[in-house]
Amino acid sequence: MKMNFKSIVLLSTLAIGGFSCNNFLEQEENGIPAHEPKANLNMQVTHHDGAPFQTNESSNQRYYDSPGGPVMMQAFYWDVPAGGEWWNTVKGKLENWSNQGVGSIWLPPASKAQNGPFSMGYDPMDYFDFGDYDQMGSTETRFGSGPELRSLIGEAHSQNMEVYADIVLNHNSGGQLEANPYTGTDTWTKFEPASGKFFRTYNDFHPNLDANNDEGVFGGFPDLSHVKGYVQDWLWKSNESVGKYYKNDVGFDGWRFDYVKGFGPWVVKEWMNNVGGFAVGELWDGNANTLKWWVDNTDRTSSAFDFAAYYAMKSAFDGNDLNALNNDMLWKKDSYRAVTFVANHDTDEIWNKHLAYAYILTHEGYPCLFYRDYEDWLDRGMMDNLLWIHKSFATGNTSILHVDNDEYIARRNGYNGNPGLVVYINNSDNWQERWIPTNWSNRQIKDYTGHSNWEPWTQGGTWVKIQCPPKSFSIWSTK
């Protein structure tokens, strides 16, 4: 959910066994061996400082199963251009994203909202209008028309990518005034959507005969009451429900649940048990135990954005103390259910993003890229290189080898024949070197970022000296 200010989060633990994120979890948690990685096609491109980056060579290689697993792209930012062209804009990006290893995209709330052609979708009015009905001041949404959305989803599927819908279940907006016997006032709770589906009255919001309130109210909007059977039927239970229509008719593969602090985790559990797909919840809380509690109380049907990792990275990279990376994080407690991220449409506070992306794309969890970071703000060669490293080597569990104020070194221990990697982050002003233990005996290794030209051999006892440039990172694996 976007707040009223602009602020100044699994799968990669083991080798992926199938494209679907849910198949991945089912296969790996049941111990089914993953597929062998396909042939690596790679070439060298040059970073702005002249150092070579390793990247994927093929210009028409769609996303494919890889040892490190998929990466998610948040395919929007706050206040994307209005005018109904966003679905077409995203569609035009899909081939490149897929080529680089992005396996899924998260779209903004796609249905008609109170602010019509200007809304970012977080004030939902008609869940079944994707830009097909003339209401709330327009036919198209800010992002485009219903046919354009379906075309985007079809193209994503042709690129072997999954598509996640942003679902706002806590509240609604855009209703008409009606006399409300539970408040003794007139409330904006009468909804008669042009789609003809999911009409609502004061009985479907708090307070009502069955419940005065639930876990949270957002911004004074009418607060949906999920204990009501009518609301449950329309959201997830019936064959005509929002969830089943989005999944079975429109083609969405999963869900990003907005503002889950506003309702109990049982709501997500019920949705997932009735509808299925992938799920991640926006529980804006930096406490890893709270995030784990929420995931567990969805019966582990949903992941959560790893806000604990987000705040630890901010402290580490902007606060100049890498010891913060020792903090507890959701990916350390439940890597299968942690979606890690560096920025999103609500919060964009980390300044040293290159170090943060090096962290999430080499560690456990399901990494999520922010559209503007990839498309507009950060060095594309660096990002594509990190994506290539992620899908090539980011396998196995994690061993933290060294942490101090300026240096952080961790090892991914590899899986199913994949060698894994060692990541070295240096936040000091000078080159650093350090001896570290690896899983590789008598093997030559190299830095796949090109930041170091060393290609040392590990000793028989697996130890080797590696180096890292100032305010940067190096990532090592076998040649």
Task: Give the model confidence (pLDDT) of 280-316 as tens digits.
Answer: 999 999 999 999 999 999 999 999 999 999 999 999 9
Give the per-residue pLDDT at 65: 79
Give the per-residue pLDDT at 54: 63
How much of the chain, in percent, has pLDDT values that exceed 70? 87
* Residue 330 predicted with pLDDT over 60: yes
Query: Among this protein's residues, is 282 annotated catalytic?
Result: yes
Q: Which residue has the higher pLDDT, 262 or 22?
A: 262
Q: What share of the chain is helix, strand, coil (3-state, %, to 5)?
A: 30, 25, 45
Give the per-residue pLDDT at 14: 32
Q: 209, 204, 202, 210: which is closest to 185 by C-alpha?
A: 202
Give the per-residue pLDDT at 33: 26
Give the per-residue pLDDT at 13: 35
- 233 known member of a binding site: yes
Looking only at the bridges linking them, the beta strands covering 366-370 and 124-126 are unpaired
The 3-state DSSP class for residue 215 equals coil
The 3-state DSSP class for residue 112 equals strand
Q: Spell out the domain ranges in the chain.
A: 11-395, 396-479
Give the per-residue pLDDT at 192: 98
Report the DSSP beta bridge partners of residue 138. 135
Does the N-terminal peptide bond of residue 207 adopt cis geometry, omega within 30 degrees of 0?
A: yes
Judged by average pLDDT, the poorest of 57-61, 278-282, 304-308, 417-421 is: 57-61
Judged by average pLDDT, the poorest of 24-38, 273-287, 328-342, 402-416 is: 24-38
Q: Which of 28, 95, 282, 334 is catalytic?
A: 282
Q: Which residue has the higher pLDDT, 15 or 365?
A: 365
Q: In this predicted model, what pLDDT tens digit does every residue of 457-472 receive, in sequence order?
A: 999 889 999 999 999 9
Judged by average pLDDT, the poorest of 1-15, 102-116, 233-247 is: 1-15
Give the per-residue pLDDT at 55: 56
* Residue 217 predicted with pLDDT over 50: yes
Task: Work out the angle at residue 390's Cα, subtended by the Cα atoms of residues 406 and 339, and round it to the nearest 5 degrees.
Answer: 80
* Residue 126 predicted with pLDDT over 50: yes
Q: Which residue has the higher pLDDT, 66 or 211?
A: 211
* Residue 4 predicted with pLDDT over 50: no
Give the per-residue pLDDT at 29: 36
Sign of CA dihedral 428, 325, 341, 422: positive
Sign of CA dihedral 122, 123, 128, 132: negative
How much of the chain, in percent, has pLDDT values that exceed 90? 85
- Give 57's pLDDT tier (boundaries 50, 70, 90): very low
Give the per-residue pLDDT at 49: 33
- Give 60's pLDDT tier (boundaries 50, 70, 90): low
Give the per-residue pLDDT at 56: 53
Give the per-residue pLDDT at 35: 25
**Mean pLDDT value of segment 197-208:** 98
Rounded to the nearest 10 degrees, how much is the dihedral formed by the CA atoms of 70, 71, 73, 74?
Answer: 110
Looking only at the bridges linking them, the beta strands covering 124-126 and 112-113 are antiparallel
* Residue 47 predicted with pLDDT over 50: no
Q: Which of 223, 258, 285, 375 is catalytic?
A: 258
- Give 64's pLDDT tier (boundaries 50, 70, 90): confident
Which CATH number applies to 396-479? 2.60.40.1180
- Name 29's Cβ contacts closer than 8 Å, sequence gap at least 6: 336
- Give 53's pLDDT tier (boundaries 50, 70, 90): low
**Mean pLDDT value of segment 54-68:** 67
* Residue 254 predicted with pLDDT over 70: yes
* Residue 361 predicted with pLDDT over 60: yes
> Where would I find the beta strands (DSSP E) of 168-253?
176-180, 185-190
- Give 26's pLDDT tier (boundaries 50, 70, 90): very low
Query: What is the Cα–Cα distance from 130 to 195, expressed in whole angstroms?
Result: 10
* Residue 435 predicted with pLDDT over 60: yes
- 96 known member of a binding site: no
Which CATH number applies to 11-395? 3.20.20.80
